[in-house]
Structure 1
Amino acid sequence: MTALDLGAVFRAAGVTGWLHALDLDSGREVGHRPDEPVSMASVFKVPLLVEFGRQADAGLLDPAARVTIGAAERSSGPTGISAMLDDVTISLRDLAYLMIAVSDNTAADALAARVGLDAVNAMLTRFGLTGTHVEQNAGQQNDSMAEDAGHGWPFLDPEDLARLRVLDPLRTNRSTARETAALFALIWRDEAASAESCAWMRGVLNLQVWPHRLASGFPYDDVEVSGKTGTLPTVRNEAGVVEYPDGGRYAVAVYTRAFSPALNQPRADAVIGTAARMAVDHLRR
């Protein structure tokens, strides 16, 4: 596969795209602009999940410990605790599940307050993922958008978008397609944390509810797709692992930035699955 092949696919969908795919067993890889910095959006919740698992392994926290989240402590968002009205008492482990499965911002921020973003970044550095850095929790990302634009959602004006720090990889949570795929590889190879914690992380990532991005490229009952989405104005991302019944396992990270400021971007969603399928097919040939 050449860069031109995927570049044309992304452009036809109205986006700029970045991709890296890795065969977890052979080490073969393929990419399109895989080392350029990109805005992670909610994909930042994956390194937070990894550090949570590592701290549980080290006895620094109890995954079953319960916390109560009141209405005033919620980060804005359309899913999970963020969308609830009453106080919620829940375990740290179940916060992690909500953070991944439905991308619950409040769950992520409550977990980040317990784990610490400094610890997340130290973990990334230890793994050599120096192009990946988490600067903000979900609530801080939302607050920064309102501050930069001077008003709340939606952010549709091109001048508003140009001011949003969350869209500038140098001023927000950032990674590269290659490093994001590498982090998933660590989880699937039992290298990110203990084997028990990695197995639990794989299970949680397999419970993500969104079928319209990465999974759309693999519409088969016997192919497992696990992953994490990320969404911001003009940004549609997903990274994860695709597992075939013959044992083939492929970590794939796809980041996109749309040319249009429209809120609904079905072509941008769909091209994530299309490009991922092209990359995995290339690795399987």
Structure 2
Amino acid sequence: MTEPPARLPAGTRTHPRTHPRTHPRDRIRAAFAEAGVTGWLHAVDIDSGAQIDLDADRSVVTASVHKLCLLVALHQHAETGRLELTDQTECPPEGRTAGPTGLSAMLDPARVSLRDAAYLMMAVSDNTAADLLLARVGLDAVNDTTERLGLTRTHAVQTFREFLVMIREDAGHGGPQALADPQVLARLRALDPARTNRSTPRDMTRLLGAIWRDEACTPEHGAAVRRLLGLQVWPHRLASGFPFDDVHVAGKTGSAPTLRNEVGVVEYPDHGRYAVAVFTRAASPAATLPAADAVIGTAARIAVDALRGSRAGQGGRSGRGGPSAR
């Protein structure tokens, strides 16, 4: 569920061969096809409500994207006094949820505050940190949060440990190598949104809009949630489409066999802010597919450029930033 950034080989293109006058939806569809993925997208101007969608109401597997729902539920609990973010939680070496980052990869006993566990969960997609928080908040509370926010197609049914165990069980005795077998992939319950944590691209942008408008939490807690989204370390998906010093991208990735997702908000210096949700499934079972990662940024950029063009037509600016060192 955590995937390190993949480097683009020399010559890799991140934009499809389409005429700039082609409708943005067609350009996005062409970009997905060229990258060898099926994709679903929703992008919305948080302030004007202008939007672009590509099968935005399709039910999709969220994987680690669902950690954003957990983060909001955590801060709502803190708002109402059901917990303090500075409360400490113990993390023994035994029984940690699998994963290559954060507490999941550490070997010694650890003791962290809930807010530091939330940082690890969002910045490096630490699965153990997420399950520590779920143990305090509970799946029911996560679902109560999304329901109150009107996310009718978003539902959590299992912990992140249960998600990974389900993949391991379905892969059988072949281990991780078996996930390259199309027959094994076909039986993975984790790839069926009806059987795991799920949402839609439109629900996810609705959640992001609520966070950025301080409707999901009080301004104090909303700012804390936005800060953590801005600390995510992975630059290879959504952020790759916006390589500018003065454009800020805050997001959360999600990964599973053949699945690469990211949801986030892109903010421009002219105060334009755009919520984007991109979910993809690759035709290839390969774990390393740079083009499949990069197309998330490409599709998001096409959508945001179109929304900014609409904003410019209404009197807003649609300028670019300078080159980034990211």
TM-score (norm. length: structure 1)? 0.98
SS class of match (2:44): strand
Matched to 1:43, the amino acid is: V
Q: Look up the match of 2:313.
A: none
Aligned ranges 1:82-231 → 2 under 5 Å: 82-151=104-173, 152-154=175-177, 155-231=179-255
Q: CA deviation at 1:180?
A: 0.6
Name the counterpart of 2:302: 278
CA distance in 1, matches of 2:159, 2:126: 12
Deviation at residue 3 of structure 1 after TM alignment: 3.6
Residue 2 of structure 1, CA deviation: 5.1
SS of the counterpart of 1:153? helix
Moved more, 80-89 or 1-10: 1-10
Counterpart of 2:320? Answer: none
Gaps of 5+ in 2: 1-22, 310-326
Residue 64 of structure 1 corresponds to which residue in structure 2?
86
Q: State the partner residue of 2:278.
A: 254
SS in 1 for 2:184: helix
Q: What number of residue pairs does the alignment pair up?
A: 285
Offset of residue 72 of structure 1: 1.1
Q: Distance in 2 between matches of 1:159 and 1:43?
A: 26
Q: How far apart are the structure 1 equivalents of 2:40 and 2:115?
A: 32
More displaced, 223-232 or 162-171? 162-171
Amino acid at match of 1:153: P
Paired AA for residue 242 in structure 1:
V
> Residue in 2 aligned with 1:10?
32
Task: Tell whether the 8 Å contact from 2:24 to 2:306 is kept in structure 1 after alignment.
Answer: no
The aligned residue for residue 316 of structure 2 is none
The equivalences for 1:264-275 within 5 A come to 264-275=288-299
Identical columns (%): 59
Moved more, 154-163 or 166-175: 154-163
- Give structure 1 stretches of 5+ with no counterpart: none
- What TM-score comes out, normalization by structure 2 length? 0.86
Higher Rg: 2
Q: Is the CA contact 2:24–2:302 (under 8 Å) kept in the aligned structure 1?
A: no
Cα distance, 1:153 vs structure 2: 2.1
Change in Cα spacing, 1:2 to 1:211, as seen in structure 2 (3 Å) is closer
Give 1:50's match in structure 2, choosing from 51, 72, 92.
72
Q: Separation in 2 of the partners of 1:164 and 1:44?
A: 19
2:231–2:250 Cα contact (<8 Å) kept = yes
| Matched residue, 1:73 | 95
For 2:132, the aligned partner's letter is A
CA shift at 1:73, angstroms?
2.6
The more displaced of 3-12 and 81-90 is: 3-12
CA distance in 2, matches of 1:153, 1:138: 17
Deviation digits for residues 104-162 of structure 1 (CA, Å, limit 9, x no counterpart): 00000000010001111011111111101111111111100111121332411111111
2:27 and 2:302 in contact (8 A); partners too: no
* Partner secondary structure for residue 208 of structure 1: coil
Equivalent position amino acid for 1:205 in 2? L
Measure the CA separation in 1 of the matches of 2:74 and 2:89: 15
Distance 2:113 2:263 in 1: 26
